[in-house]
Amino acid sequence: MSRRMILERMKVLGLCGALLASGCEMIAEKLTQKAAEAAIEHAVEKKTGGEVKLDTSGGTLSLKSDKGSMEFAAGGAKVPESWPGDVPPYPGAKVTMAMAGPNHHMLSLETADSPEKAVEFYKGKLASMTQEAVMNTEQQSMLYYEDATGRRVQLAIGKESGGAGPNTTIALIINTEKQKAAGAN
Protein backbone atom coordinates (compact mmCIF):
# COMPACT_ATOMS: atom_id res chain seq x y z
CA MET A 1 0.00 0.00 0.00
CA SER A 2 1.39 3.38 -0.94
CA ARG A 3 2.21 6.03 1.58
CA ARG A 4 -0.39 8.34 0.04
CA MET A 5 -3.17 5.74 0.47
CA ILE A 6 -2.15 5.17 4.08
CA LEU A 7 -2.28 8.94 4.77
CA GLU A 8 -5.71 9.26 3.14
CA ARG A 9 -7.05 6.34 5.17
CA MET A 10 -5.62 7.86 8.33
CA LYS A 11 -7.37 11.15 7.52
CA VAL A 12 -10.68 9.33 6.99
CA LEU A 13 -10.21 7.35 10.21
CA GLY A 14 -9.31 10.56 12.05
CA LEU A 15 -12.43 12.27 10.73
CA CYS A 16 -14.57 9.26 11.68
CA GLY A 17 -13.00 9.25 15.15
CA ALA A 18 -13.72 12.94 15.62
CA LEU A 19 -17.34 12.46 14.51
CA LEU A 20 -17.70 9.45 16.78
CA ALA A 21 -16.22 11.33 19.75
CA SER A 22 -18.52 14.27 19.06
CA GLY A 23 -21.50 11.91 18.85
CA CYS A 24 -20.48 10.20 22.08
CA GLU A 25 -20.25 13.56 23.80
CA MET A 26 -23.78 14.46 22.66
CA ILE A 27 -25.07 11.04 23.74
CA ALA A 28 -23.41 11.42 27.15
CA GLU A 29 -24.93 14.90 27.52
CA LYS A 30 -28.41 13.59 26.64
CA LEU A 31 -28.05 10.66 29.07
CA THR A 32 -26.96 13.06 31.83
CA GLN A 33 -29.99 15.29 31.11
CA LYS A 34 -32.36 12.29 31.23
CA ALA A 35 -30.79 11.02 34.47
CA ALA A 36 -31.23 14.46 36.07
CA GLU A 37 -34.87 14.59 34.92
CA ALA A 38 -35.49 11.11 36.36
CA ALA A 39 -33.92 12.09 39.70
CA ILE A 40 -36.07 15.25 39.94
CA GLU A 41 -39.21 13.32 38.94
CA HIS A 42 -38.50 10.68 41.60
CA ALA A 43 -37.88 13.29 44.33
CA VAL A 44 -41.12 15.18 43.55
CA GLU A 45 -43.11 11.93 43.26
CA LYS A 46 -41.80 10.83 46.66
CA LYS A 47 -42.86 14.14 48.26
CA THR A 48 -46.26 14.47 46.56
CA GLY A 49 -47.33 10.89 45.92
CA GLY A 50 -48.21 11.97 42.39
CA GLU A 51 -46.94 11.05 38.96
CA VAL A 52 -44.43 13.60 37.64
CA LYS A 53 -43.21 14.11 34.08
CA LEU A 54 -40.39 16.57 33.50
CA ASP A 55 -39.13 17.37 30.01
CA THR A 56 -36.39 19.99 30.12
CA SER A 57 -35.88 19.91 26.35
CA GLY A 58 -39.53 20.87 25.79
CA GLY A 59 -39.73 23.03 28.91
CA THR A 60 -42.67 21.21 30.54
CA LEU A 61 -43.44 19.92 34.01
CA SER A 62 -46.62 18.01 34.77
CA LEU A 63 -47.84 16.56 38.05
CA LYS A 64 -50.80 14.21 38.34
CA SER A 65 -52.16 12.83 41.61
CA ASP A 66 -55.47 11.81 43.13
CA LYS A 67 -55.82 15.47 44.21
CA GLY A 68 -55.66 16.84 40.66
CA SER A 69 -53.13 17.79 38.04
CA MET A 70 -50.86 20.67 37.21
CA GLU A 71 -48.91 21.52 34.09
CA PHE A 72 -46.31 24.21 33.55
CA ALA A 73 -44.91 24.71 30.10
CA ALA A 74 -42.52 27.22 28.64
CA GLY A 75 -43.76 26.45 25.14
CA GLY A 76 -47.47 26.38 25.92
CA ALA A 77 -49.59 24.25 28.23
CA LYS A 78 -53.03 22.81 27.46
CA VAL A 79 -56.45 23.53 28.93
CA PRO A 80 -57.20 20.69 31.40
CA GLU A 81 -59.89 18.21 30.30
CA SER A 82 -61.82 18.98 33.49
CA TRP A 83 -61.97 22.73 32.73
CA PRO A 84 -65.55 24.04 33.19
CA GLY A 85 -67.10 24.74 29.78
CA ASP A 86 -69.09 27.78 30.93
CA VAL A 87 -65.88 29.72 31.70
CA PRO A 88 -64.01 29.50 28.39
CA PRO A 89 -60.36 30.30 27.82
CA TYR A 90 -59.98 33.53 25.86
CA PRO A 91 -60.32 32.78 22.12
CA GLY A 92 -56.97 32.41 20.37
CA ALA A 93 -54.98 32.94 23.57
CA LYS A 94 -51.82 30.96 24.26
CA VAL A 95 -52.03 28.86 27.44
CA THR A 96 -48.79 29.36 29.39
CA MET A 97 -49.75 27.53 32.58
CA ALA A 98 -52.62 25.25 33.59
CA MET A 99 -53.62 23.67 36.88
CA ALA A 100 -56.60 21.51 37.80
CA GLY A 101 -57.70 19.95 41.06
CA PRO A 102 -60.95 18.71 42.52
CA ASN A 103 -61.92 22.21 43.75
CA HIS A 104 -59.59 24.57 41.93
CA HIS A 105 -58.73 25.34 38.31
CA MET A 106 -56.30 27.93 36.99
CA LEU A 107 -55.15 29.10 33.58
CA SER A 108 -52.54 31.65 32.66
CA LEU A 109 -53.07 33.01 29.16
CA GLU A 110 -51.44 35.46 26.75
CA THR A 111 -53.14 37.27 23.87
CA ALA A 112 -52.29 40.06 21.44
CA ASP A 113 -55.77 41.56 22.04
CA SER A 114 -56.13 44.58 24.30
CA PRO A 115 -56.91 44.11 28.00
CA GLU A 116 -60.16 46.04 27.47
CA LYS A 117 -61.30 43.58 24.79
CA ALA A 118 -60.53 40.61 27.09
CA VAL A 119 -62.43 42.24 30.00
CA GLU A 120 -65.49 42.79 27.79
CA PHE A 121 -65.33 39.17 26.57
CA TYR A 122 -65.41 37.82 30.13
CA LYS A 123 -68.07 40.25 31.30
CA GLY A 124 -70.28 38.88 28.51
CA LYS A 125 -69.43 35.22 29.18
CA LEU A 126 -69.94 35.53 32.95
CA ALA A 127 -73.08 37.71 32.81
CA SER A 128 -75.20 34.92 34.37
CA MET A 129 -73.05 35.08 37.52
CA THR A 130 -73.12 37.74 40.22
CA GLN A 131 -70.27 40.20 39.90
CA GLU A 132 -68.93 40.51 43.45
CA ALA A 133 -66.14 43.02 42.88
CA VAL A 134 -64.15 44.91 40.26
CA MET A 135 -60.87 46.68 40.72
CA ASN A 136 -59.17 48.62 37.93
CA THR A 137 -55.70 50.11 37.89
CA GLU A 138 -53.74 51.60 35.03
CA GLN A 139 -52.06 48.22 34.41
CA GLN A 140 -54.68 45.65 35.41
CA SER A 141 -58.37 44.84 35.90
CA MET A 142 -59.44 42.32 38.51
CA LEU A 143 -62.94 40.85 38.40
CA TYR A 144 -64.66 38.54 40.91
CA TYR A 145 -67.80 36.54 40.16
CA GLU A 146 -69.86 34.00 42.06
CA ASP A 147 -72.65 31.72 40.88
CA ALA A 148 -75.67 30.35 42.80
CA THR A 149 -73.69 27.26 43.91
CA GLY A 150 -70.94 29.32 45.57
CA ARG A 151 -68.41 28.70 42.79
CA ARG A 152 -66.10 31.71 42.45
CA VAL A 153 -64.36 32.94 39.30
CA GLN A 154 -61.50 35.43 39.60
CA LEU A 155 -59.80 37.15 36.69
CA ALA A 156 -56.73 39.35 36.51
CA ILE A 157 -56.34 40.88 33.06
CA GLY A 158 -53.51 43.27 32.38
CA LYS A 159 -50.88 44.71 30.12
CA GLU A 160 -47.69 42.75 29.73
CA SER A 161 -44.75 44.51 31.29
CA GLY A 162 -41.99 44.75 28.71
CA GLY A 163 -41.00 42.18 26.14
CA ALA A 164 -41.94 41.78 22.52
CA GLY A 165 -44.67 39.16 23.04
CA PRO A 166 -48.42 39.49 23.35
CA ASN A 167 -49.56 42.61 25.13
CA THR A 168 -52.20 41.10 27.44
CA THR A 169 -51.94 38.49 30.17
CA ILE A 170 -54.98 36.77 31.71
CA ALA A 171 -55.01 34.82 34.97
CA LEU A 172 -58.24 32.86 35.33
CA ILE A 173 -59.00 31.09 38.63
CA ILE A 174 -62.09 28.99 39.37
CA ASN A 175 -62.73 27.84 42.92
CA THR A 176 -65.58 25.37 43.48
CA GLU A 177 -64.78 24.70 47.14
CA LYS A 178 -67.65 25.70 49.40
CA GLN A 179 -66.87 28.64 51.63
CA LYS A 180 -67.30 28.15 55.36
CA ALA A 181 -69.98 30.29 56.96
CA ALA A 182 -68.61 33.27 58.88
CA GLY A 183 -67.66 32.26 62.42
CA ALA A 184 -67.87 28.52 61.68
CA ASN A 185 -65.00 26.30 62.78
| pLDDT (tens digit per residue) in 139-181 | 899 999 999 999 999 999 998 766 555 689 999 999 986 554 4
Is pLDDT larger for residue 75 or for residue 90? 90
Architecture of domain 79-175: 2-Layer Sandwich (3.30)
List the domain boundaries for the chain.
Answer: 79-175
**What single string gives the DSSP state of each residue in 4-73?**
HHHHHHHHHHHHHHHHHHHHHHHHHHHHHHHHHHHHHHHHHHHHHSSEEEEETTTTEEEEEETTEEEEEE
Phi, psi of 98, rounded to the nearest 5 degrees:
-140, 145
For residue range 34-53, list pLDDT tens digits in order.
666 666 666 667 766 777 66
The answer to whether residues 158 and 140 touch, using CB atoms and an 8 Å cutoff, is: yes
**118 falls in which pLDDT band (50, 70, 90)?**
very high
Is pLDDT larger for residue 176 or for residue 24? 176
Among the listed residues 168, 172, 154, the one whose alpha carbon sits nearest the alpha carbon of residue 106 = 172
- DSSP 8-state secondary structure symbol assigned to residue 78: -
List Cβ neighbours of 156 (8 Å cut-off, separation of 6 or more). Answer: 140, 141, 142, 169, 170, 171
Quick one: pLDDT at residue 103? 82
Amino acid at 108: S
Among the listed residues 105, 98, 92, 102, the one whose alpha carbon sits nearest the alpha carbon of residue 168 = 92
* Mean pLDDT comparison of 32-36, 67-71, 77-81, 114-118, highest-scoring range: 114-118
- In three-state secondary structure terms, 124 is helix
Share of the chain above pLDDT 90, in %: 32
Quick one: pLDDT at residue 49? 73
